[in-house]
């Protein structure tokens, strides 16, 4: 059974800090790993990673995948209060019909 | 706005009631999904539809009954639910099921409380 574990469960930082979120996974025939941000209700897509070692970047957010060690990290630099959210990691395996989600990391950015 | 609309946003029902959740996507996608998000648990996939055909049913109790009349609409019919079914129910869509299905577009969710 596919499995995704995220750490830490939650963290509190101050504006301007850098945050690193971790996602480790076990999946049969890995296809992709995705990061989502969930602020209130609807998770919104951040990144999709399929290849090892290639960093994806969007503004202050970046993510990288290590397919050998089966993990990904999501970095947020110069955090702002608007970055407060739950960050979800999900993997797509062989079946392709579904994503298996981790439990999420709750990030709170204080002014 | 993600292009996926869910109604109602909040629903309170008794264990003997029958109600339905509705989802509509305006993205021209071919696949639609129901996910359940409970407190302190990961998002759980319930059902997957591809071009109105159910392709995945993740061992969901029969008190949850999905319906997909066309590729833009998805319903979740609820009857004789239990208090532990209280959760946020998220609808999502993607261009296709399978390859390239990774990026899901989620609705705002329907917060269900079962008394």
pLDDT 10s digits, B34-89: 999 998 788 999 999 988 788 777 789 999 999 999 999 999 999 999 999 999 99
Q: Which of B56, B104, B108 sits opposite A41 (nearest CB)?
A: B108
* CB proximity under 8 Å: B 51-90 to A: 55-56, 58, 88, 90
Strands A71-76 and B10-13: unpaired
Better pLDDT: B96 or A9 = A9
pLDDT of residue B100 exceeding 70, the answer is: no
B contacts of A97 (beta carbons < 8 Å): 48, 55-56, 97-98, 101
pLDDT of residue B98 exceeding 70, the answer is: no
How far is A105 from chain B, CA to nearest CA, in Å? 11
Better pLDDT: A51 or A46 = A46
Residue B34, both tokens:
């129901």
Question: What separation in angstroms does the CA of A9 have from each of A86, B4, B103?
Answer: 9, 28, 23
Strands A85-92 and A105-110: antiparallel
- Tell me, what's the pLDDT at B74? 97
User: Taking CB atoms and an 8 Å limit, are A41 and B88 in contact across chains?
Assistant: yes
Taking the Cβ of residue B49 and every Cβ of chain A, the question of whether any pair is shorter than 8 Å is answered with no
User: Taking CB atoms and an 8 Å limit, are B106 and A98 in contact across chains?
Assistant: no
| Alpha carbon distance B38, B60 (integer Å) | 14
């Amino acid at each position: 059974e596919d499995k995704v574990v995220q750490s830490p469960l939650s963290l509190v930082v101050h504006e301007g800090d850098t945050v690193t979120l971790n996602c480790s996974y076990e999946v049969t025939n890995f296809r992709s790993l995705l990061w989502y941000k969930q602020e209130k209700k609807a998770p919104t897509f951040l990144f999709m990673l399929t290849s090892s070692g290639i960093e994806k970047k969007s503004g202050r957010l970046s993510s990288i995948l290590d397919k050998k060690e089966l993990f990904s990290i999501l970095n947020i630099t110069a955090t702002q209060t608007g970055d407060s959210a739950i960050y979800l990691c999900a993997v797509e395996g062989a079946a392709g019909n579904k994503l298996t989600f981790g439990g999420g990391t709750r990030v709170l950015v204080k002014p | 706005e993600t292009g996926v609309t869910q109604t109602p946003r909040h629903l309170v029902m008794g264990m003997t009631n029958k109600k339905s959740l509705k989802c509509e996507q305006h993205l021209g996608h071919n696949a639609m999904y129901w996910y359940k998000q409970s407190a302190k648990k990961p998002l759980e996939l319930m059902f997957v539809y591809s071009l109105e055909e159910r392709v995945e049913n993740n061992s969901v109790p029969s008190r949850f009954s999905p319906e997909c009349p066309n590729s833009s609409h998805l319903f979740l019919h609820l009857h004789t639910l239990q208090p532990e079914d209280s959760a946020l129910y998220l609808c999502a869509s993607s261009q296709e099921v399978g390859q390239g299905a990774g990026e899901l577009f989620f609705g705002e969710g329907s917060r269900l409380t079962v008394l």
